[in-house]
Structure 1
Amino acid sequence: MMHFRHLTLAVVATLAIAPAAFAQDAGTTSSAGGKRFAVVGGYALSEPTSNPQIAGTRTTFDGDGAATLSANYYVTDNIAVEAWGSADKFGNRVRSPNGKIASVDTQPYALSAQYHFGTADKTVRPFVGLGYYEANTSGEKAEPSGPLAGQRIGVETAKGAMATAGVDLNMTPTWFARADVRYMQDTTGQPNVAVNGTNVGKAELNPVTVGVGVGARF
């Protein structure tokens, strides 16, 4: 519930910025067409879609929210290359049927190609993308009162394909609001989970992120 409250606040902030953006560009006759760079700052919720089996026990990884950043280069008005990533770490609590057993932080980043439909000045402009991501892991820690208490946990970096679908709401030729959904599929054999240096399972999370943000093009 707290994560959805954060996303709601991000949406409200986006709507609050819109009038100021309109006022800033008021009276301009410029066009978004031909502008080659854009940056977007936002907030996203990440939720794993798989429940990996670790040390013979089926586990679940909780989702979390974090700030995100992206930089975009438009090769044409319709084709763009995007570098995207989380500016902070997503905290994932690991649970078994008997309760919390550990926690681990993930921080994904990705490079993808996108296709933006319609003209650059169209008010509502959907887009799709496909690319490659990696999700660094850190902060692996066993729950002090859990079955892994006192043991050293390690999780390898997840790598694979990322698919994106989203929509831009053009507020002015410079400013726009963005909402997107990203699916990350580990395609490199799934990251190993080790306890005291011994592999005990695979952390196949394949997360989905849902995000909103505000961007500027120039």
Structure 2
Amino acid sequence: MMNKTIVSGVIAAALLSAGFASSVSAHQAGDIIVRAGVAVVAPNESSPVVADIAEFGVDDNTQIGLNFGYMLTDNIGIELLAATPFSHDISLGELGKIAETKHLPPTLVAQYYFGSADSKVRPYIGAGVNFTNFFDNEFTNDLDGALTDLSLGNSWGLAAQVGLDYQINKNWLVNASVWYAQITTDVEFKLAGDAVKVETDIDPWVYMVSVGYTF
């Protein structure tokens, strides 16, 4: 419910504020925009049933989010999303938490900003590609040694975003954005010595609130 509320709020603000202008000039061709804030990754995971028990579950995590944008024109930009490593608990039905993993999800998108260069409020949309690198994978409950050798494969997938910048003055702005990324990983491990591979979709929503600076 909270995730849907955040998405709806950002989209509604973007639609209502399109074309709202003021004397503050921002988002011009050649501008570099750096934003830093809080990013929440909320997985929308699914997998086959594992060991006749349940599907994998993956919890949410919050980290410091960073993104770096460059305006190719007054309305078209490119942006790279980065963050400190996200850490997730992996659960399996009634067994609860059985493992944990970390990942870095750099995402590159092309963006279209609505409004003009002198608009104080700039809603935007974007689409691009995500690369996710999983590391530090380990079992926290190995079922008395039955589970060993955990690994998660890296992932390439499509990504999309919607966001809103509010320009405070010539250089400073505040931002809210929502991202969606296709992340599919092969979870590999050994169960009682037998090799197992489980293709798992993570497909998270990413919510970010940040402060930005325009150069």
In the superposition, relative to structure 1, how do residues 95 and 76 fare at CA in structure 2: closer, same or farther (>3 Å)?
A: same
Separation of aligned partners in 2, 1:210 and 1:148: 37
1:114 aligns with 2:108: no
Separation of aligned partners in 2, 1:82 and 1:198: 40
The Cα offsets for residues 112-165 of structure 1, whole Å up to 9 and x where unpaired, read as 100010012322211000000111101111013646666110000121000000
Equivalent of 1:43 in 23, 33, 38: 38
Q: After TM superposition, give the deviation of residue 52 of structure 1 in Å.
A: 2.0
Separation of aligned partners in 1, 2:144 and 2:180: 32
Cα RMSD of the aligned pairs, angstroms, is 2.1
Q: 2:173 maps to what in 1?
A: 176
Q: 2:25 maps to what in 1?
A: 31
In the superposition, relative to structure 1, how do residues 148 and 69 fare at CA in structure 2: closer, same or farther (>3 Å)?
A: farther
Specify the code of the residue in structure 2 equivalent to 1:194: E
1:90 aligns with 2:104: no
Q: 1:9 maps to what in 2?
A: none
Contact 2:181 / 2:204 at 8 angstroms: preserved in 1? yes
TM-score between both structures, scaled by the size of structure 2 = 0.80
Q: Which runs of 5+ in 2 are unaligned?
A: 4-22
The Cα offsets for residues 6-48 of structure 1, whole Å up to 9 and x where unpaired, read as xxxxxxxxxxxxxxxxxxxxxxx87324452111111110011
Q: After TM superposition, give the deviation of residue 61 of structure 1 in Å.
A: 0.3
TM-score between both structures, scaled by the size of structure 1 = 0.79
Separation of aligned partners in 2, 1:49 and 1:133: 16
| Percent sequence identity over aligned pairs | 27
Contact 2:24 / 2:167 at 8 angstroms: preserved in 1? no
Q: After TM superposition, give the deviation of residue 85 of structure 1 in Å.
A: 1.2
Separation of aligned partners in 1, 2:33 and 2:144: 48
Q: After TM superposition, give the deviation of residue 203 of structure 1 in Å.
A: 2.2
Q: How many residues align?
A: 187
Q: 1:209 maps to what in 2?
A: 206
Secondary structure of 1:203's partner?
A: strand
Secondary structure of 1:152's partner?
A: strand
Equivalent of 1:142 in 139, 144, 151: 139
Contact 2:179 / 2:206 at 8 angstroms: preserved in 1? yes
Runs of 4+ in 1 over 6 A off after TM superposition: none
Separation of aligned partners in 1, 2:145 and 2:214: 49
In the superposition, relative to structure 1, how do residues 47 and 146 fare at CA in structure 2: closer, same or farther (>3 Å)?
A: farther
Secondary structure of 2:148's partner?
A: coil
Separation of aligned partners in 1, 2:43 and 2:142: 24
Q: 1:22 maps to what in 2?
A: none
The more displaced of 43-52 and 137-146 is 137-146
Matches within 5 A, 1:153-172: 153-172=150-169
